[in-house]
Amino acid sequence: MGFGPLTGIRILDLSTMIAAPFGATLLGDFGADVIKVEMPNRGDSLRSMGPFKESEPLRWPALARNKKSLTLDLHTSEGQVILKKLVAQSDVVIENFRPGTLEKWGIGYDVLKEANPEIILMRVSGYGQTGPYAEKAGFGTPATAFSGFTYLHGYTDRPPISPSFSLVDYITGVYVAFATTAALYYRDAKDGNGQMIDMGLYESVFRMMEFLVADYDQNDIIKERSPGLSGHSSPAGTFQTKDGHWIVLVTSSDRTFERLAKAMNREDMLSDEKFYTNKVRLENFNLTNGIVADFVKKWDRDELQALLDEFGVPISPINSIKDIFENPQFKSRENIVEIDHPRLGSIKMPGIVPKFSETPGTIRNVGPDLSEHTDEILKDLVGLSDMEIKNLKDKNIV
């Protein structure tokens, strides 16, 4: 079983910040041996991102977990020689430099293939490796706006709003993990070859917008921003309970609305021409939501939850992180786990998902200190002596 289904796979993570590194971390959660390659004395920029506790970056332990840190200056010929020796013993290289950067350094895909014909190169950039925007600088928040996502969010009388965290980066990271495992399966189970995979940040969110494409293509509709899940299901939205809590309720099918109508003791709505199908409820969205809002306002949160759970109506409180820490479902699923940290003592971080019955993943270490595993990797994988490693350190190559 090892550490998970990817035990035995070695990944060189050359990437920085969130999107591509998060994909590498997901692969590491399920057993892959991930070597994070960082610039000497500087490291990944993520190490200097908040939040902090005193001088300790609090995002790093979880986002860089299950990785080893190797410092290596890829601008230098000596560093590139070492990289090629590592590529020869690895399965995947993940990078997120601006397109053309690896080629400029002389370590593009063709060169990596010479070192290892079966290598898989996973490339992430703001706009992909091709097209007129390929060489633009790409970061998550601008990519989210470019994808069409930001245009949909907010109130019509206020500016559009961006997500309050790096949503597109994390979604892209999931695509990185998915694409890498698909390429590994093709190579190893189907007797295929290594290959290059090209992903633009904006593409990960845009792929989820088939409804937007379809409505504009077939109905010439430009969907404007609105709060909540509008235009799909009715009733749907955010409602406030009698005791001041906020909940989300959605009825995405007529069968679900039937259960809600019974819970509200409003079965008359099931035969009313304004409410009897989702299509007509969408035409009377504000009226329908108003009826639900009045109903919700009569109940305390926990009483409402119990009632609607009994009738099978999808509802959830809007949880703060404090609520999540205290919630029995999160505890039961081990969605938050406690891990030792060399300076912070015991820390909590998100657990591993999804749950594998036969080959569950493991958290083997928190995000490593800069260059923590350099000597180990250079000795064990590259075959360098202590003196050779010292010479490289003296020249600031590692």
Q: What is the CA radius of gyration of the chain?
A: 25
Three-class SS state of 223? coil
Beta bridge partners of 121: 93, 196
E-state strands within 42-127? 52-53, 56-57, 67-71, 92-95, 120-125
* Site of tokens 């190579």: 187
**Which H or E element spans position 204?**
helix 201-206
Whether 169 sits among the annotated catalytic residues: the reply is yes
Measured between alpha carbons, how far is 101 from 89 in angstroms, rounded to an integer? 23
Report the C-alpha gap between 269 and 265 in whole angstroms: 10
Question: Are 241 and 299 contacting, i.e. CB atoms less than 8 angstroms apart?
Answer: yes
CB atoms within 10 A of CB 315: 20
**Cα separation of 35 and 80, whole Å?**
15
276 and 284 Cβ atoms separated by less than 8 Å: no
CA distances from 378 to 10, 81, 87, 275, 389 (A): 15, 12, 13, 69, 7
Burial grade of 366 (CB within 10 A; 0-12, 13-18, 19 or more): buried
CA distance 123 to 198: 5
Which residue among the candidates 169, 309, 380, 394 is catalytic per the annotation? Answer: 169
Instruction: Report, as residue numbers or ranges, the catalytic residues.
Output: 169
